[in-house]
Amino acid sequence: MKKNVLEISSFSNEKLKYISGLKEKKNREKSKTFFIEGYREIQRAKVSGKVKFEYLLISPSCYLGENEEELVDSIDAKTILVPKQVFEKISYRDRPDGLIATAELPDFSLSPKIKLSGDPVLVIEGVEKPGNLGTILRTAEGAGFNAVFVADPRLDLFNPNVIRSSTGTLFTLDVFQSDIQELYPVLKKSGYRTIAVTPEAKSLHWDGNLKGKIALVFGSEQYGLSSYARSQSDEYISLPMKGVADSLNLAMSAGILMYEVLRQNRK
Amino acid sequence: MKKNVLEISSFSNEKLKYISGLKEKKNREKSKTFFIEGYREIQRAKVSGKVKFEYLLISPSCYLGENEEELVDSIDAKTILVPKQVFEKISYRDRPDGLIATAELPDFSLSPKIKLSGDPVLVIEGVEKPGNLGTILRTAEGAGFNAVFVADPRLDLFNPNVIRSSTGTLFTLDVFQSDIQELYPVLKKSGYRTIAVTPEAKSLHWDGNLKGKIALVFGSEQYGLSSYARSQSDEYISLPMKGVADSLNLAMSAGILMYEVLRQNRK
């Protein structure tokens, strides 16, 4: 290791308490910093260029062997070395991989002057479950969506479970947070058609024209679309449901739709 | 309520300890019974006709108001009434809905004489995470798949989290458990093409012919396909991955593929 490292062996150290505390929303709000765990997640946060790191907590005996030293050396942060048993106490995971960072909260707010590339985008409204949002981001990234708009979320985007289930794509994608009423005019001005996905729609997704500048809009797990999105969208589509169950999991619906968009837009 | 109900108010009662214990695999193996929580899950277990109930634990002050009384009256089981605070201790959920049943473990083993309808089927090999299997079952049901073959699972099919995330479709679908080496000959004899989904395949899923008698085969989260499935399948396809991430969540991949099968086979 090439950098200066501070060794701390007691969990009761104030710095470690601060880092561990960032798993809680109230502490993130107070300090304006957050918690990123895992090689892949920290690596993606780094390459995104959006994240200003603060601390890097390492425990080499937990490393899984993916060039951790190199990543550690490349990150500009105060580095703290802790024993395995201390690391496991701070970790958010069942099987920690020896790397946790803290960083300043990046600004994901929507600028009304945003320039959109013309590719399809995703709008997730009122999302409640961090695991769903993270899975949606991971899938959006796989499906080649560049921008995801998180409107009126019922969760904190920097919840550790969003970061974990997104596998760090929260950073590599362009993610914007705003009110739905602020977002729709921006999308319309940029020439986007808003296509809301809702079980009440009669038109099935595979019959819809999902080419070009489209914004797929999904409502919350429990409440569905807001009355605003319900009334202000340009088109409405649904996924076919063949069995006794009346709906799919939100992340699943979004993933299926995004891959249908990718299919219709393939070269 | 029309039936005889036993009232128990102490959590230390032996019957309640037995019921609560069924959340653990070792106790399910010993007693050959399992734990089903929730109105929707119990209702689907009932209509499936596959489940022989034993106890029904109720706490009406937790009911969410979906005709619980009617369901309780329709189930042939020893019914136990408990106070809310006792129910919450036994519950597997954050927000319990006042209904837990126990039942004999149904036999999901594969019969070599199985008759398949000719519709597409799903094979999930070596699955590790109960939430993934449950989500896959829920989505399979939505996509109109009737049969799901769970080969060499690394989990217990009657894990409460499988049941919960399947929303009870574990019972309404035809689910079979077997070795992969026992399953492939059965599928081939019935005229099924086995199509393994793996990142190494060059052919993309939307270019594949997914019509008719096909079995989509997915490997485990961590290890992928077994060497048997890797060598013995008829065809191989992959999902396109556009971003920096190298894979999707297993349940997501399966859901996207099942809806592509549904699309290709639509009338």
Per-residue pLDDT of chain B (267 residues; tens, 9 = 90+): 567 899 999 999 999 999 999 999 999 999 999 999 999 999 999 999 999 999 999 999 999 987 999 999 999 999 999 999 999 999 999 899 999 999 999 999 998 889 898 899 999 999 999 999 999 999 999 999 989 999 999 999 999 999 999 999 999 999 999 999 999 999 999 999 999 999 999 999 999 999 999 999 999 999 999 999 999 999 999 999 998 777 899 999 999 999 999 999 998
Is residue A116 one of the residues assigned to a domain? no
Are B202 and B253 within one domain?
Answer: yes
Residue B252 with chain A: CB contacts under 8 Å: 135, 138-139, 251-252, 255
Residue B167 with chain A: CB contacts under 8 Å: 245
Region for residue A254 given its phi and psi (left: phi exceeds 0; alpha: psi -120 to 50; beta: otherwise):
alpha
pLDDT recorded at residue B46? 97
Is residue B155 one of the residues assigned to a domain? yes
pLDDT recorded at residue A112? 83
- The secondary element (H helix, E strand) that includes residue A182 is helix A180-189
- Which range among A7-11, A174-178, B126-130, B245-249 shows the weakest confidence by mean pLDDT? B245-249
Are B195 and B166 within one domain?
Answer: yes
Are A47 and A126 within one domain?
Answer: no
Residue B245 with chain A: CB contacts under 8 Å: 138, 141-142, 167, 169
Are B78 and B170 within one domain?
Answer: no
Is residue B113 one of the residues assigned to a domain? no
Contact A243 B206 (CB under 8 A): no
Are B132 and B256 within one domain?
Answer: yes
- The minimum CA-CA distance between B136 and chain A, rounded to whole Å, is 10
Q: Is B4 helix (H, G, I), strand (E, B) or coil?
A: coil
Q: Helices A130-142 & B250-264, crossing angle to 10 degrees? A: 60
Tell me the average pLDDT of chain B. 95
- The minimum CA-CA distance between A111 and chain B, rounded to whole Å, is 24
Is residue B9 one of the residues assigned to a domain? yes
Label the pairing between strands B5-7 and B78-81: parallel
What whole-number distance in Å separates Cα of residue B200 and Cα of residue B52? 44
Q: Mean of the pLDDT values across residues A50-62?
A: 97
Are B98 and B157 within one domain?
Answer: no
Among the three residues A104, A136, A164, which one is the final residue of a domain in this structure?
A104
pLDDT recorded at residue B213? 95
Best CA proximity match to B20, nearest among B91, B85, B78, B81: B91
Is residue B114 one of the residues assigned to a domain? no
Is residue B137 one of the residues assigned to a domain? yes
Are B146 and B259 within one domain?
Answer: yes
What whole-number distance in Å separates Cα of residue B264 and Cα of residue B128? 30
Mind listing the pLDDT tens digit for each residue in B47-85? 999 999 999 999 999 999 879 999 999 999 999 999 999
pLDDT recorded at residue A1? 58
Q: Where are the beta strands (DSSP E) in chain B?
A: 5-7, 33-37, 53-58, 78-81, 99-104, 121-125, 147-151, 174-178, 193-197, 214-218, 235-237
Evaluate the CA torsion angle B13, B19, B24, B28 in order and state its sign.
positive
Full residue range of the structural domain in which residue B129 is found: 121-264
In this structure, what are the phi and psi dihedrals at residue B54, rounded to the nearest 5 degrees?
Answer: -120, -70
What whole-number distance in Å separates Cα of residue B38 and Cα of residue B162? 13
Are A63 and A176 within one domain?
Answer: no
Are A138 and A228 within one domain?
Answer: yes
Chain B: residues touching A (Cβ < 8 Å): 44, 47, 135, 138-139, 141-144, 167, 169, 172-173, 206, 239-245, 247-249, 251-252, 255-256, 259-260, 262-263, 266
Evaluate the CA torsion angle B198, B203, B205, B208 in order and state its sign.
negative
A66 vs B111, more confident: B111
If you ran DSSP here, which 8-state letter would residue B238 be given?
A: B
Tell me the average pLDDT of chain A. 95
Which member of B47, B141, B255 has the closest CB to residue A256?
Answer: B255
Are B137 and B100 within one domain?
Answer: no
Is residue B115 one of the residues assigned to a domain? no
Residues 6+ apart with CB under 8 A from A167: A40, A41, A44, A134, A138, B245
B51 within 8 A of B171, measured Cβ to Cβ: yes
Are A127 and A245 within one domain?
Answer: yes
Sequence length of chain B is 267
Contact B260 A255 (CB under 8 A): no
CATH number at residue A256: 3.40.1280.10
Is residue B252 one of the residues assigned to a domain? yes
- The minimum CA-CA distance between B147 and chain A, rounded to whole Å, is 12
Residue with tokens 């595979």: A206
Mind listing the pLDDT tens digit for each residue in A69-123? 999 999 999 999 999 999 999 999 989 999 999 999 999 999 888 989 889 999 9
Among the three residues B104, B138, B154, which one is the final residue of a domain in this structure?
B104
Contact B248 A44 (CB under 8 A): no
Which member of A239, A252, A256 has the closest CB to residue B135?
Answer: A252
pLDDT recorded at residue A66? 73
The whole-angstrom distance between residue A4's C-alpha and the CA centroid of its chain comes to 32
Total domains present in chain B: 2
Are A135 and A92 within one domain?
Answer: no
Best CA proximity match to B183, nearest among B147, B132, B140: B147
Q: Mean of the pLDDT values across residues A42-47?
A: 96
Contact A243 B141 (CB under 8 A): yes
CATH number at residue A80: 3.30.1330.30
Region for residue A152 given its phi and psi (left: phi exceeds 0; alpha: psi -120 to 50; beta: otherwise):
left
Q: What is the ipTM of this complex?
A: 0.92
pLDDT recorded at residue A245? 76
Angle at B28 between CA B23 and CA B33, to 5 degrees: 105
- The minimum CA-CA distance between A4 and chain B, rounded to whole Å, is 31
- The minimum CA-CA distance between B161 and chain A, rounded to whole Å, is 15
Among the three residues A77, A104, A131, which one is the final residue of a domain in this structure?
A104
Region for residue A122 given its phi and psi (left: phi exceeds 0; alpha: psi -120 to 50; beta: otherwise):
beta
What whole-number distance in Å separates Cα of residue A59 and Cα of residue B164? 36
Q: How many CB atoms lie within 10 A of CB B79?
A: 19
Burial class (CB in 10 A: 0-12, 13-18, 19+), B31: middle
What whole-number distance in Å separates Cα of residue A40 and Cα of residue A264? 31
In this structure, what are the phi and psi dihedrals at residue A136, rounded to the nearest 5 degrees?
Answer: -65, -45
For B35, the token pair is 């734990």
Q: Please name the residue of chain B whose CA is at the shortest distance from the CA of residue A248.
A: B139
Contact A172 B266 (CB under 8 A): no
